[in-house]
Structures are given as structure tokens and as C-alpha cells.
Copies of this chain bind each other. A is one copy, B any other.
């Protein structure tokens, strides 16, 4: 069909130097706004001797603005209910949406999104979904939940703007998802990468070949992994479709931070909407060279309701800035978000991300989709074992693959199919027995 290539060509293909000027202007605007209007930021900046006037360049922003963390936000919201002193005081009529995310103590963190922010975020979602290949003639079946979490709501928002047909089925039986894909001829399926993989094994049991289905694009997100080469290969080959990973966090939502284009070169960072840095994990004010692994730091350049300024979610990744053949001039995360620094295990001196274990397992197509990492204490050391599903004869090959990716030897137990719990939303991979 004769649809244009970009949702917003001027914006997406802008000369990066010109974009940087706009980014700096917005950084300065947001810093002045949060310092004068939001007590949380004022206290935090005063305590660190930081003042918005100190930022005269993007480099100043990285090296001088103190970061904020989930822990600080939770404590502040507890003290200043319901939305924290990092939220602008909104009249009821000014809030479009309230959502929440599960908190550490069972008390959810709440988000209030102003009407202007909600509108703006809808535009960003549409731009991201268009970048991933969604068009107005698509039928999009959504397998994300609709409820407290932002989950599928952002997907809805973008699709409504694009004008695609929306089928928001949500969380339901896997058989129903597969039957309705066939019955409706859905062309796009959207869910977590774990669930897309899970559906492959359900389809196999049902005798359905998803490569023959009408689905041509998968929009995955909600957890790391969608950009891992092994994971993406399984999904794309099993579905016979292009998988596009999209990243964000509850704190940054409803603003999408990054999304894959159809060229598959990594998730593109909409830095003129959410400025994204990858800095030293040891010092979040220390820049690192492009391509080096570090900690992600996000900044809302336009959000006014609960703006995150240098929010460090604890995720690890690396950047690329070479041109993408798609024509968009944004920097990219070649493998998306690699995983949470908090989830990182230190096993005999090696840093192990659960996502790296996944990459290794995905290289052996005979294994089932589910796996589990058991971590135990052995004296002063942590030990890990990996459980997956498959023929026990595959154990040596699996251990080799893990050795290759992780750099250490890890014992593997292969269990009969159907032993491990099935994933229908976000996968829970680590069993901590320490």
C-alpha cells in the first residue's frame, strides 16, 4: 500500500546536531520547571548543590545533574500521597489517566498522567509503532494485560492514532489467542517476547504452523529479551514475521523510550522525547564511550505531570550511533535493554545476566521455551544451575553454549516437556535459594 515511510519524517530524520540543540533547550526548560515547581526535585538538587543554571551543554547535564532512583520515588510517594512531591499538583479535570505498578512492599506506585502528556504520549506511541511497521490496514491483536499496569494501554493509544484495527484480547487462554488469529486474520501480534515464544509451543501442540498465519509483524516489549539475537531468531523464524522490540519502564510510561525499525539494527531511541544516556554503572555522572556497556539514564523532555529527570532504572545496555539504513537519525540500542543490573548474578567472579542465559539456550532450537535459573549459596560463593526442558542427551551441548556466552561452566538439568511453569505474561526466570 502507498503509505509514507515515516510517521513524522522531519522529526525522525533530523540532523543530529540540530536535534541536540532542541534537546538542550528542553533539558534546561525541564530543569527550571522541576526545580521551581516540584519539591522532590528542589530538595534533591539543593542537597547535592546542584542548580539548573549549571547546565549549559548536554555534557553538563550528564556530569552535573544528580540521578533519581526508584527507591527515592517510592519513599517520596509514601510521604506525599497519592502521587508524590515529584508530581505536579493537578486538578481532577487535568488528569487523563491513573495507572500503577506493583511496588516492592505490595503497595503499588501510582502514576497520574496529565491530559497534555497523554496526548503527547499517544503521538510517540504512534510514531514508534509506525517505525516497527504497523500501518492503518493492519489488524492488531494485543496480548498485554489491561488493568492497573500501563501494559496494553499505550499500545491502544498508538494504534487508535494510526487508525489500525484494534483487537484488545488481553490476557486469556493461549488457545483462544491462536484460534482468533486464524479466524480474524490478525496481521500484527503484540505481547511479551516470552509469551510469543510460549505461543509457539502451544501452536505446535495444536498442530498450527504460525509461519503460515497472517501475522507479519510482532510488537514485543514489557521485559528485556526481545532484542537478544537468539530470542529474536526463535520468534521471527517460528512466526515467520518481523519482531520489533520496544522499551520503556513504568516510570517513563506512557512515553515509549525506544523501538526497533524494520531493518533490525537495534531499538531506536527517541532522544528528543526521552533523552537516554548510557553512563558508567559505577558513577552515573561519568560518561563512557559509545559502544561500551553501562547503566541507562532516562529524562522526560516534555512530560509535565510526573517528569523523570535523569531517572536510573538500574538497566544495563550499550549504544550505537552509526547511521541506520531506515533513515532515522536517532541513536540505537543494538540489543535493546540487556537486563536489570539488580538481576545480575555474580557467579565465581563472573557477571551473569539472566538474559545472557536466555541467549545461550535459544541457540539450541530443540529445547523447550521455558527455563529457570536456580541460585544457591555454597559457603561464601554463589552457585547456579540451569533447568530447561528437552532430551537429557542435549545437556552437554547446552552446557557448552552457556560456557561460550557466560564464560563460566554451569550445570544443566533437562526436564520433560511441561515440567516448568508456563509463561503467559512476564517471565520469572530466577529462583533465588540463597
**Which residues of A are interface residues toward B (Cβ below 8 A)?**
81-82, 91-93, 95-100, 108, 110, 112, 115, 136-139, 146-148, 153, 160, 163-172, 176, 180, 183-185, 187
Q: Which residues of B contact A169 (CB under 8 A)?
A: 147-148
A97-B167 Cα distance, complex, nearest whole Å: 6
Select which of B92, B108, B163, B165 is within 8 A of A165 by beta carbon.
B92
Judge whether A139 and B171 touch: CB under 8 Å.
Answer: no
Q: Which residues of B contact A96 (CB under 8 A)?
A: 160, 165-166
**Can you list 9 A-B pairs, Cβ within 8 angstroms, ordered by A?**
A82-B185, A93-B165, A95-B139, A96-B166, A108-B180, A110-B184, A146-B146, A148-B169, A148-B170
Give the top 10 A-B pairs by smallest Cβ distance, nearest first. A146-B146, A147-B170, A98-B167, A95-B165, A92-B137, A93-B137, A93-B136, A82-B183, A82-B184, A97-B166
Q: How many copies does the complex hold?
A: 2
Kindly report which residue of chain B lies nearest to residue A166, judged by CB atoms: B97
A248 to chain B, nearest CB (A): 18
A141 to chain B, nearest CB (A): 8
Kindly report which residue of chain B lies nearest to residue A151, judged by CB atoms: B146
A173 to chain B, nearest CB (A): 10
Kindly report which residue of chain B lies nearest to residue A147, judged by CB atoms: B170
Judge whether B147 and A168 touch: CB under 8 Å.
Answer: yes
Kindly report which residue of chain B lies nearest to residue A171, judged by CB atoms: B147
Judge whether B165 and A98 touch: CB under 8 Å.
Answer: yes
Q: Which residues of B contact A176 (CB under 8 A)?
A: 148
